[in-house]
Structure 1
Amino acid sequence: MSILVQFDLFGEVEQKLEKRAERRAEGAAQQPKPRPGPASRRRLRVFVGNDPHRLAGEVAENVIAAWFSHCGGNRMDIPLGTVAALSFLREPLISDWLLTLEPAQLLPLLREIWGVQWMARPDLIEVARPLHDWVEEDPDEYQLRAVQAVIHTAIYNGLFDLTAQDDPYERSEADVLSPLLTGLRHKADKKWRGEYHTPPCVSDVMARVLVDSNRREPGMSVREPAIGSGGMFRSVAQQLRELNLDPHDFSWFGNDIDPLATACAAVNAIVWDLGPKVAIWCGDSLADDGTAVDKALTERAAVIQHRNTVVEQALFEQKTRRLLHTLDQLLDGAAA
């Protein structure tokens, strides 16, 4: 049995750090509580104050302005990939440290972030390759300064208020990459591609219709053949959580013809914590002969197997080095 989703619907840093520290201190002083239900979640949204979708739009708008005002060029993958990498960070207090980094220090940091994520979710990070291939290149000084401006702007405008929360429900309240992707793309390009992302309010309504209290159970699947940056997945996941269900218990299948949009959806699947049963790929649904899902699952399994092989080889080499070091010590001791 499956749910069939067939539409691509459309202060200062110090003050923020102090408020976050106060909230964390209050939370630490309280006893662990059961997972909040729908009513308490809605109160949380009011407590946070800002409309998350409006905040996501403001982050995207200011990041775009920072990128172009610092002569970053016409490449979309660099600002998109930078914000995507930041969205993986779960410690809001790291923002203070990020603001101290020089442009030359940013590339190694971004490589490390993507590398850590590849170890955890190689299947999705491989799909997100269009967002991080550039970190293996040699960006010039202007591009690195533009990357620095993107990071500062994203932090100052509240990116971590959306993406650095511990609770995946809070991280899933908005899609930052969608307005950033559409805002970076030229209007003529969007028209030619027919790219018009679904407004969150519309996808939220659709999710409530598709996933009601009588039509949902663990083991069901969500299929989105025009996924965009994953907005429909976000709405369905939030609706499941409103019903006290775990997205990890469901399967998620989505594709899009645009590789950058698909890459954003793969990143969002991690940020929104959709779980281990996610398959996202780049492909034309209208040209699908019925084998696209099987091919995507086969490629996903191959990527995970490659990761496992790399890890096993690294562990073997580490053990070998330790053994040789121990042997050298024994020989040195015998010679003495």
Structure 2
Amino acid sequence: MGDYLSSQPSHRWPPTVGQVASAHWLRRPDLISAAGPMLRWYTEELTDDALYAIKAVADTAIKHGVLLHTGDTNPYMRSQIDVMSWTLVRLRHLGGGSMLAEFHTPDDAAETLVRLVLGEDPPASGSLHEPTGGTGTIFRAIAQHLRERGIDPGDWTWSLQDLDPLAVAGAAVNFLVWELGAAANVVCGNTLSEGDLTHRALSLRAEAEAHHSVLLDQAEQGAAYLRALRRLGAAS
């Protein structure tokens, strides 16, 4: 896969990313919608210089092993590190993270916290809410803790919210990579002034799924129409 992606010319990167996003949208339209601030660039008119820069960044990430952390068929292996968190931290301008009070939670600290809270014998199912979740580093540690004990994170309910839309976008991508399951939701909002926004996350998810259903119905009708035209052409 790395060789294939690296072989793509710069002008192919936007549609390639779009195709990947579309494939995930078919499964979780709400998460791809939440990831919009991080993905929307592939729909924009890009200059040759911008395309060159996109390919250079992508080639560098592939060369240094990003697919080792995100491309494994085993979700446990895909959940070894919060790539989105480190990406945002490194891409913020100097001092930007401090201004936003945004700091990556060290993996060791997250894993220690999880063991203290959940213990060595966590229940088979439960509900978790992270009001200032960032890109989901704590959830990553919890999911790994559960998997190490033979528990499927998909049997748990995950609800994350954060003020920063880019962090929420990163969390949405992470939820797909880490395979947290159908009951994983993200939402952007101010926890201090608005409180628990799980209801908003569920409402946005319902809207995304309704839109998803309409578009799939239209696509199926279009496909049926094309099949009918082909048959008529073949018959004549």
TM-score (norm 2): 0.95
4+ residue runs of structure 1 moved beyond 4 angstroms?
none
Q: Secondary structure at the match of 2:231?
A: helix
CA–CA distance in 2 between the matches of 1:321 and 1:269? 36
Q: What is the match of residue 284 of structure 1?
A: 190
Number of equivalent positions:
236
Unaligned runs of 5+ in 2: none
CA–CA distance in 2 between the matches of 1:215 and 1:156? 38
CA–CA distance in 2 between the matches of 1:271 and 1:151? 18
CA–CA distance in 2 between the matches of 1:208 and 1:270? 24
Q: What is the match of residue 137 of structure 2?
A: 231
Q: What is the match of residue 76 of structure 2?
A: 169
CA–CA distance in 1 between the matches of 2:136 and 2:68? 20
1:107 to 10, 14, 37: 14
**Code of the aligned partner of 1:183:** R
1:258 to 160, 164, 171: 164
Q: Secondary structure at the match of 1:133?
A: helix
Q: Secondary structure at the match of 1:312?
A: helix
**1:215 CA displacement:** 4.1
Q: What is the match of residue 25 of structure 2?
A: 118
**1:304 CA displacement:** 1.1
1:296 to 198, 201, 204: 201
**1:221 CA displacement:** 0.6
Do the aligned residues in 2 keep the contact of 1:229 with 1:264 (CA within 8 Å)? yes
Structure number, greater radius of gyration: 1
Q: What is the match of residue 313 of structure 1?
A: 218
| Cα RMSD (Å) | 1.4
Q: What is the match of residue 211 of structure 1?
A: 118
CA–CA distance in 2 between the matches of 1:306 and 1:249? 26
Greater Cα offset, 276-285 or 315-324: 315-324
**1:289 CA displacement:** 4.5
Q: Larger RCO: Structure 1 or Structure 2 (Cα < 8 Å, ≥ 6 residues apart)?
A: 1
Seen in structure 2, the aligned counterparts of structure 1 residues 141 and 324 have a Cα distance that, compared at 3 Å, is closer
**Code of the aligned partner of 1:282:** C
Do the aligned residues in 1 keep the contact of 2:131 with 2:191 (CA within 8 Å)? yes
Do the aligned residues in 1 keep the contact of 2:187 with 2:200 (CA within 8 Å)? no
CA–CA distance in 2 between the matches of 1:107 and 1:258? 24
Q: Please give the per-residue CA displacement for 1:167-208, whole angstroms capped at 9, x wherever unaligned.
A: 100110111111110111123221221111211110001111
TM-score (norm 1): 0.68
Seen in structure 2, the aligned counterparts of structure 1 residues 324 and 141 have a Cα distance that, compared at 3 Å, is closer
Identity %: 34
2:147 to 238, 241, 257: 241
Do the aligned residues in 2 keep the contact of 1:251 with 1:277 (CA within 8 Å)? yes
Do the aligned residues in 2 keep the contact of 1:127 with 1:281 (CA within 8 Å)? yes
Unaligned runs of 5+ in 1: 1-93
Do the aligned residues in 2 keep the contact of 1:211 with 1:240 (CA within 8 Å)? no
